[in-house]
Amino acid sequence: MLARPHTLALVTTRRCTAACDHCCFGCSPTAQDAIPIERLHGLIDEAKRVPSIHRIGFTGGECFLLGRDLVALVAHAHELNFETRAITNGYWAHSERAARLRIEPLYLAGLDELMLSTGTFHQRFVPVERVALGARAAASFGIRTRISIEACDQSEFDAAGLRASLADLAGDGSVCIAEEPWIPDAGGRGASALSHDGILTRELAERARGACAQVLNVVTVTPRMQLTACCGFPNEELPELGIGSVAERPLDAVLSESPNMLLQMWLHVAGPAGIADFVASKDREFVFPAFASICHACVAIQRDERAMRFVVQHAGEIVGDIAARFAAAQPQLATASPC
Ligand code: SF4
Ligand code: SF4
């Protein structure tokens, strides 16, 4: 594979303190899948042999459930000169003191960035006050801090209230707060009907129509130790995004020995809407709606059997162009040979 990923995301465990509706990994307090701690350290070492990777992200499930092991993993990655990021729901920040006690060891271990997730579905398990306390603690140590808020028509979350409570930190740039579409779980585990008609701005729709900035730039190891080609919400549910198992084989070998996949390269250069446009050029009846999230669009195109049949039938017409555009987008690559 000729991809040059810059980030390795480790979905350390499927266990979580929450069980948010539409969680893309089906996480919950009773979920069992997890990457063994020793294997996580091995994956960090193997990532060092992939020259393009410069960032390691720790996520889940809830990676803070790893406790001291998370601190050791961050320290290991930091010692190897990786940038480090952790993603959490903030359950641990039940007081200012508790928040600082959890963040300080991670800061000393070299944590560069903390991302907290919240919103209507998260706050049923983790009060938003904890997210604000966690963000304050991280920012006080100089850790880059981001808060991602679920956005959908069904949201009852007081985003303005959270922004107001952190206005001082948002104002000086030490905490960044953004709303991201919360999309239906591609694994079919979600209970609530989700829609985005009311939040579908022109800007969101245009973002969802562009190239995917994640695929083959960020690769992910799932709790079942499958390497996937992106970190998008549905990456575990879309077989075409699979790269291979790293349960028994080193990450760098799996990456370098895997074939270049047309669909992954196509998403990289044109996104799901680019594939849909190609299908529409062959099939005038094919209509691809506007989506608020590029990952939602990605599920729709990959699960459209008719569209995928057209892609397979006409792949020969496009593969050379996609491969050339993909190769041109990779540093120090002249050609790519898809299969
Ligand atoms: S906090 Fe995140 S990982 Fe945990 S259940 Fe909710 S969405 Fe899933
Ligand atoms: S658009 Fe598709 S390839 Fe890109 S991050 Fe989302 S699921 Fe992954």
Q: Is the pLDDT of residue 334 over 60?
A: no
Residue type (1 letter), 153: D
pLDDT of 43: 98
**Ligand closest to the CA atom of residue 186:** 2
Percentage, residues of the chain above pLDDT 90: 92
Q: 122 alpha carbon to ligand 1 midpoint, in Å?
A: 7
Atom of ligand 1 nearest to the CA of 18: 5
- Report the alpha-carbon distance of residue 164 to residue 158 in Å, rounded: 10
**Ligand closest to the CA atom of residue 207:** 2
Instruction: Specify which residues 84 forms β-bridges with.
Output: 56
Candidates 33, 121, 122: which one to mutate for ligand 1, based on the most atoms within 8 Å of Cβ? 122
**pLDDT band at residue 137 using 50, 70 and 90 as cut-offs:** very high
What rounded mean pLDDT belongs to the chain? Answer: 94
Q: Is 231 left (phi over 0), alpha (psi -120 to 50) or beta?
A: alpha
**pLDDT band at residue 265 using 50, 70 and 90 as cut-offs:** very high
> Which domains, and CATH codes, for the chain?
7-257 (3.20.20.70), 262-329 (no CATH)
- Report the alpha-carbon distance of residue 339 to residue 332 in Å, rounded: 21
Percentage, residues of the chain above pLDDT 70: 97
**Ligand closest to the CA atom of residue 261:** 2
**pLDDT band at residue 232 using 50, 70 and 90 as cut-offs:** confident
Closest CA to 272 of 183, 187, 191: 183
Q: Whose CA is nearest to atom 8 of ligand 2?
A: 232
Q: Which residues surround ligand 2 with Cβ inside 6 Å?
A: 212, 214-215, 230, 232, 234-235, 241, 267, 272, 294-295, 298
**pLDDT band at residue 332 using 50, 70 and 90 as cut-offs:** low
- Report the alpha-carbon distance of residue 44 to residue 54 in Å, rounded: 11
**Ligand closest to the CA atom of residue 23:** 1
Candidates 25, 182, 241, 298: which one to mutate for ligand 2, based on the most atoms within 8 Å of Cβ? 298
Q: Is the pLDDT of residue 76 over 70?
A: yes
What secondary structure, in 3-state letters, does the chain show?
A: CCCCCCEEEEEEECECCCCCCCCCCCCECCCCCECCHHHHHHHHHHHHCCCCCCEEEEEECCHHHHCHHHHHHHHHHHHCCCEEEEEECCCCCCCHHHHHHHHHHHHHHCCCEEEEEECCCHHHCCCHHHHHHHHHHHHHCCCEEEEEEEECCCCCCCHHHHHHHCHHHHHCCCEEEEEEECCCCCCCCCCCCCCCHHHCCHHHHHHHCCCCCCECCEEEECCCCEEECCCCCCCCCCHHHEEEECCCCCHHHHHHHCCCCHHHHHHHHHHHHHHHHHHHHHCCCCCCCCCCCHHHHHHHHHCCHHHHHHHHHHHHHHHHHHHHHHHHHCCCCCCCCCC
Q: Is the pLDDT of residue 131 over 80?
A: yes
Q: Which residues contact 337 (CB under 8 A, 6 or more apart)?
A: 260, 323
Q: Which residues surround ligand 1 with Cβ inside 6 Å?
A: 16, 18-20, 23, 27, 60-62, 89, 117, 122
Q: 139 alpha carbon to ligand 1 midpoint, in Å?
A: 22
Atom of ligand 2 nearest to the CA of 232: 5
**β 7-13/242-245 pair status:** unpaired
Q: Rounded mean pLDDT of 285-292?
A: 94
**What is the token pair recorded at 193?**
């009907």
pLDDT of 2: 80
pLDDT of 45: 98
Q: Is the pLDDT of residue 269 over 90?
A: yes
Q: Whose CA is nearest to atom 5 of ligand 2?
A: 232
Q: 278 alpha carbon to ligand 2 midpoint, in Å?
A: 18
Q: Rounded mean pLDDT of 308-323?
A: 93
- Report the alpha-carbon distance of residue 315 to residue 111 in Å, rounded: 43
Atom of ligand 1 nearest to the CA of 16: 4
